[in-house]
Amino acid sequence: MAKRTGEKHGVILEAAVRSFARTGYHRTRVADIAREAGVADGTVYIYFESKEDILVSLFQSLMNNFVKGLLSALAQCPDADEKLKTVIRYHLTTLSARPDQAKVTQIELRQIDQSINQGISKPLKSYFQLIEEVIEEGKKQGLYRRGLDTKTARKVVFGAVDEVVTCWVMSSKPYDLTALSEPVYELLAKGLR
Amino acid sequence: MAKRTGEKHGVILEAAVRSFARTGYHRTRVADIAREAGVADGTVYIYFESKEDILVSLFQSLMNNFVKGLLSALAQCPDADEKLKTVIRYHLTTLSARPDQAKVTQIELRQIDQSINQGISKPLKSYFQLIEEVIEEGKKQGLYRRGLDTKTARKVVFGAVDEVVTCWVMSSKPYDLTALSEPVYELLAKGLR
Amino acid sequence: MAKRTGEKHGVILEAAVRSFARTGYHRTRVADIAREAGVADGTVYIYFESKEDILVSLFQSLMNNFVKGLLSALAQCPDADEKLKTVIRYHLTTLSARPDQAKVTQIELRQIDQSINQGISKPLKSYFQLIEEVIEEGKKQGLYRRGLDTKTARKVVFGAVDEVVTCWVMSSKPYDLTALSEPVYELLAKGLR
Amino acid sequence: MAKRTGEKHGVILEAAVRSFARTGYHRTRVADIAREAGVADGTVYIYFESKEDILVSLFQSLMNNFVKGLLSALAQCPDADEKLKTVIRYHLTTLSARPDQAKVTQIELRQIDQSINQGISKPLKSYFQLIEEVIEEGKKQGLYRRGLDTKTARKVVFGAVDEVVTCWVMSSKPYDLTALSEPVYELLAKGLR
DNA sequence: GATGAATGAGAGTTCATTCAT
DNA sequence: AATGAATGAACTCTCATTCAT
């Protein structure tokens, strides 16, 4: 009976989100997903080519829904600035509402293991702190506005620079990364004022 | 953290950077690192507790150097805004000069596998494009300045929001993510004008 | 042995010959045979008890036809020697005419895998060559007739001895294999002269 | 310590002979061989590339010894006919003395499974019987000598023809199989007289 | 009789880690 | 300190077989 085909596809995908969020991608066995979905191990392979395929399908499905929802939210916006505000609000609201999915997309899809995660956090913190100190100093010096939330500003600054580097590393064509310093600074510094 | 006495500690770490950058963390075997370092498999375990420990030590070492260098660069700066500019320039310049290390910190430390990577890139691109369209539209509507590089702006916007979500997911104390929409928007929108 | 009513029994058997000859018994999936036969996977199990049963039924069917045809060919023969000649000619002619069936009975029914096959052929060749050298030498020494085809003679000699060993190994009652050396030699040596 | 390298190679090979002879190649797990050899599962893969490689190495090793021993036995022989007799006797004596090895080379290396074996034996028997009847008839008709052992003669005849077919099937270059009827008949018929 | 989606046991292979030398 | 042979736990994926429809 083919009419219900696809039902299990979704069931397995949902089971995978829960499993990955709970145990992490690498420590989740296909058998775990199967049990969570209430199907046999082999059934997973009727709907997905491999464990990897589950993760990728999962992400694609999440992104599809995300972009679809975002587009309809943007439809209401009168101008681009309103749209930008909507994009940010939608992004934060949506992931806020689905912590399991957020954990998969932000952590499992990127980080290797919890213990590695911890080992990385600590040395990273000193860099975070350094950035925060710069921002605080800027506030004291009257260069940046008082109302600024330092922690949030730090996340924005680090996230922005980090993404710029990531894109550069992943790019197939080489280009001058250093040359982006000025424009990135312009974008971020203005926001802080 | 093991002994620092022998120079082999450093030799292995350098071999690990090259190996991880070439093959990726998961596909790199401890034996590969050992061969690359010119030592026996077992020797690796005299200096590191585990394969994971190598990666973490590597990152800690890189970050230590990074922060140390950044601090001395900041020493010259007259005010906070100059410091911010320096942070950004230093970050981009440093990673730009060490592509191997950049690959490890940006990709291997986060991503799971090349094929997963590719499966993830495509659906992400549609979101990227959407953000870029908003920025372009803003430029046309005169809301954002003409001189803005759309791609860079998109990286800044996405990277900032993404980092905000990541911090929220990793946080041990729960807090309201949605409430950050407004301040994040303020920071980013200003930068675009 | 299942029902013979439906024509599907034969259809599946024919599909199996083709599949086995093409891919080999082990690498052929029951689903492959079903597709080749144009029936559903489950249908195969209405007519056959197992994958193994298909192979055995196949062989039985082939042997049945073979013996039936051989018997009618023998009916014409005036004496035993003529019959022997007929047996040999019939055997070679029949299999020559049905390469697919020949491949199944000679290879798939016996060999394990193509790569194993190759690994076995090489070391066997040195033995073959040794036998051929003996025969050639015999021809030069005038012990064996000049007209003898060395390759064919080698096949006859090796095939004969090999079959004698195989029967001994498969026999349920133990008997003295070495004692057969003399009679086997008598049979083969005479043929070479 | 490398001086003992190779020792385990042989230990595993010997364990494999016993295991294959007992359970058959396909039903023998690599873990079984490892246990039988008194080593860990992984150790097997230090010395052999795969399970298949064990079987092939085994056969190559057996054949090497076989041919080496045969060569020294042939060294004594005054002429080719004596050599032929020696080949046959050596072949039968050697395998007779090593039933485990004989079982591997004659059965496991060729047959698929015990139950398949049985399913094949029965229909084959009617062909065997037919050949034996022809030989018996020949003896009664005075065409073949009285002293002939019918069973042995049958094995020689069938083994010879079967080998001729097998070589034809495995040959990469096609040739006329039927044309071999006459020479094969000549070889076999003379032996029977 | 026919279907084909679902099952789930089963095993080869890898590789981080250990430890006798 | 250094070695590297040996370990053995871990896990994905296959596919013959079943059975509800």
Nearest residue in chain A measured CA to CA from B87 = A131
Residue C4 has pLDDT above 60, yes or no: no
Q: What is the mean pLDDT of chain B?
A: 91
Number of cross-chain residue pairs from A and B with Cβ atoms under 8 Å apart: 321
Contact B163 A162 (CB under 8 A): yes
Q: What is the pLDDT of residue C168?
A: 94
pLDDT band with cut points at 50, 70 and 90 for residue A112? low
Q: What is the pLDDT of residue B81?
A: 94
Query: In what helix (H) or strand (E) does residue D71 lie, and over which residues does it extend?
Result: helix D51-74
The set of residues, in sequence order, having a beta carbon less than 8 Å from that of B76 and lying 6+ positions away, is B86
- Chain A partners (3+ C-beta pairs within 8 A): B
Could you tell me the distance in Å between the CA of residue A4 and the C1' of nucleotide F20?
Answer: 15
Contact D96 C123 (CB under 8 A): no
Report the C-alpha gap between D70 and C141 in whole angstroms. 21
| C130-185 pLDDT, tens digit each | 999 999 999 999 999 999 999 999 999 999 999 999 999 988 899 999 999 999 99
Could you tell me the distance in Å between the CA of residue B178 and the C1' of nucleotide E6?
Answer: 43
Q: What is the pLDDT of residue B170?
A: 87
Instruction: Name the closest nucleotide to C47, judged by C1' and CA.
Output: E1
Residues of C in contact with D107 (CB under 8 A): 166, 169-170
Chain E positions within 7 A of any protein Cβ atom are 1-21
Domain assignment present for residue A28? The answer is no
What range defines the domain where residue C116 resides? 52-192
Nearest residue in chain A measured CA to CA from B68 = A127
Report the C-alpha gap between B5 and B120 in whole angstroms. 43
Who among C79, C127, C144 is closest to D143 (CB)? Answer: C79
| C85-139 pLDDT, tens digit each | 999 999 999 999 999 999 888 888 776 677 788 888 888 999 999 999 999 999 9
% chain C with pLDDT above 90: 78
Q: What is the pLDDT of residue A178?
A: 96
Instruction: Name the closest nucleotide to B54, judged by C1' and CA.
Output: E16
Question: What's the structural domain count of chain D?
Answer: 1
Work out whether the CA dihedral B57, B59, B65, B67 comes out positive or negative. Answer: negative
- Give me the helices (H) in chain B, please: 8-23, 30-37, 41-47, 51-74, 80-97, 99-103, 114-140, 150-170, 181-192
Q: What is the pLDDT of residue C142?
A: 94
Helix (H, G, I), strand (E, B) or coil at A143: coil
- Contact (Cβ atoms closer than 8 angstroms) between residue D166 and residue C104: no
Which of D56, D61, D173 should one mutate to test binding to chain C, selecting the residue with the greatest count of C CBs within 10 A? D56
Q: What is the mean pLDDT of chain D?
A: 91
Number of cross-chain residue pairs from C and D with Cβ atoms under 8 Å apart: 323
Residues of A in contact with B26 (CB under 8 A): 112
Q: What is the pLDDT of residue B156?
A: 97
Q: What is the pLDDT of residue D4?
A: 44
C93: CATH: 1.10.357.10
| A12-43 pLDDT, tens digit each | 999 999 999 888 888 899 999 999 999 999 99
Query: In what helix (H) or strand (E) does residue A41 lie, and over which residues does it extend?
Result: helix A41-47
- The alpha carbon of residue C38 is apart from the nearest alpha carbon of chain D, in Å, by 26
Who among B107, B120, B153 is closest to A56 (CB)? Answer: B120
Q: What is the pLDDT of residue A3?
A: 35
Domain assignment present for residue B103? The answer is yes
Least confident of A92-106, A147-161, D141-155: A92-106
Could you tell me the distance in Å between the CA of residue C2 and the C1' of nucleotide F14?
Answer: 28
Nearest residue in chain A measured CA to CA from B115 = A52
With distances taken from each CA to the C1' atom of nucleotide F18, the closest residue turns out to be C42
Domain assignment present for residue B136? The answer is yes
| D22-64 pLDDT, tens digit each | 988 988 999 999 999 999 999 999 999 999 999 999 999 999 9
- Contact (Cβ atoms closer than 8 angstroms) between residue D91 and residue C161: yes
Contact D183 C152 (CB under 8 A): yes
Domain assignment present for residue D47? The answer is no
With distances taken from each CA to the C1' atom of nucleotide F15, the closest residue turns out to be C29
Q: How far is CA A77 from CA A44, A93, B185, B188, in A?
A: 42, 17, 15, 18
| D56-88 pLDDT, tens digit each | 999 999 999 999 999 999 999 999 999 999 999
Contact C112 D164 (CB under 8 A): no
- Contact (Cβ atoms closer than 8 angstroms) between residue D193 and residue C191: no
Q: What is the mean pLDDT of residues A73-82?
A: 94
Q: What is the pLDDT of residue A108?
A: 76
With distances taken from each CA to the C1' atom of nucleotide E21, the closest residue turns out to be D1
pLDDT band with cut points at 50, 70 and 90 for residue D116? confident
| D123-134 pLDDT, tens digit each | 899 999 999 999
Q: What is the pLDDT of residue A121?
A: 85
Q: What is the pLDDT of residue D1?
A: 29
- The alpha carbon of residue D1 is apart from the nearest alpha carbon of chain C, in Å, by 31
Domain assignment present for residue B175? The answer is yes
Chain F positions within 7 A of any protein Cβ atom are 1-21
- Chain B partners (3+ C-beta pairs within 8 A): A
Residue in C80, C57, C61 with CA at minimum distance from that of residue C69: C61
Domain assignment present for residue D35? The answer is no
With distances taken from each CA to the C1' atom of nucleotide F10, the closest residue turns out to be A29
State which amino acid sits at residue B21. Answer: A
pLDDT band with cut points at 50, 70 and 90 for residue D2? very low
Residue C2 has pLDDT above 50, yes or no: no
Nearest residue in chain D measured CA to CA from C151 = D164
- Contact (Cβ atoms closer than 8 angstroms) between residue C88 and residue C47: no
- Contact (Cβ atoms closer than 8 angstroms) between residue D179 and residue C79: no
Domain assignment present for residue C35? The answer is no
Contact C80 D158 (CB under 8 A): no
Contact A123 B60 (CB under 8 A): yes
Residue B28 has pLDDT above 70, yes or no: yes
Q: Which residue has the tokens 């008082």?
A: A146
Domain assignment present for residue B76? The answer is yes
Q: What is the pLDDT of residue C6?
A: 66
Q: What is the mean pLDDT of residues C10-17?
A: 96
Residues of B in contact with A60 (CB under 8 A): 119, 122-123
Q: What is the pLDDT of residue A105?
A: 86
Report the C-alpha gap between D147 and C182 in whole angstroms. 12
